[in-house]
Amino acid sequence: MKVIGYARVSTAGQALESQLERLSVAECSEIFEEKVSGAQSERPELVKAIDQLSEGDVLIVTRLDRLARSTRDLLRIVDVLEAKGAQLKSLSEAWADTTTPTGKLILTVLGGLAEFERSLIVERTSEGREIAKREGRRLGRPPKLTKHQRSFVLKWRAAGQNNAQIARKLGVSRSTVSRIK
């Protein structure tokens, strides 16, 4: 079993020393460190740390905000770790420890809450679309061409011009013109 540490700070002006010290005390065999914003999806050292993990290994962080930028991101990372048979442990948040049954339970509950929140968002969005349709509001991007321009498209097409010629006249793409019926 390997214990791998991950430390991250957001800016070059911040220091990693306190995290590195705590991870050393936690007896990490290897520590991956980086200075990159948590909002960035590209965190190469985190990817390397996770790549090092295998069945029974543990990834340790000093705090969850050093690992994930949101609950959804945290749950995604935990899923990746679980797929490898590895576990997660936070030194500051005792509840975030998948090496214990309680930690697994709490992260499962968080996962259920996140899934519930996603389904509510989908439901509200769908409901809003239905209301907008009933009220006759147009959904999606606004049309590139006005009604007046669309009538010209039909006239020019009837006069024998092709879609490419019409599109050049109107300054739009050929596919925009081809969708006019």
Q: Residue ranges of the domains in the chain?
A: 3-110, 147-178
Reported as a pLDDT band with limits 50, 70 and 90, residue 65 is confident
Task: Output the average pLDDT for the chain.
Answer: 90
CB atoms within 10 A of CB 34: 16
Active site residues: 10
Record the pTM. Answer: 0.63
CATH architecture of 3-110: 3-Layer(aba) Sandwich (3.40)
CA gap 127, 150 in Å, rounded: 31
CA gap 144, 164 in Å, rounded: 16
Q: Answer yes or no: is pLDDT of 93 > 90.
A: no
**pLDDT, average across residues 13-32:** 91
Residues in the chain: 181
CA gap 6, 67 in Å, rounded: 8
Amino acid at 22: R
- pLDDT at 12 (0 to 100): 63
Q: Answer yes or no: is pLDDT of 39 > 80.
A: no
Report how far apart, in Å, the C-alpha atoms of 45 and of each of 6, 7, 69, 153 are.
8, 9, 15, 55
pLDDT 10s digits, 127-163:
999 999 999 988 888 889 999 999 999 999 999 999 9
Reported as a pLDDT band with limits 50, 70 and 90, residue 54 is very high
- pLDDT at 13 (0 to 100): 66
Gap between the terminal Cα atoms of the chain: 66
CA gap 36, 55 in Å, rounded: 28
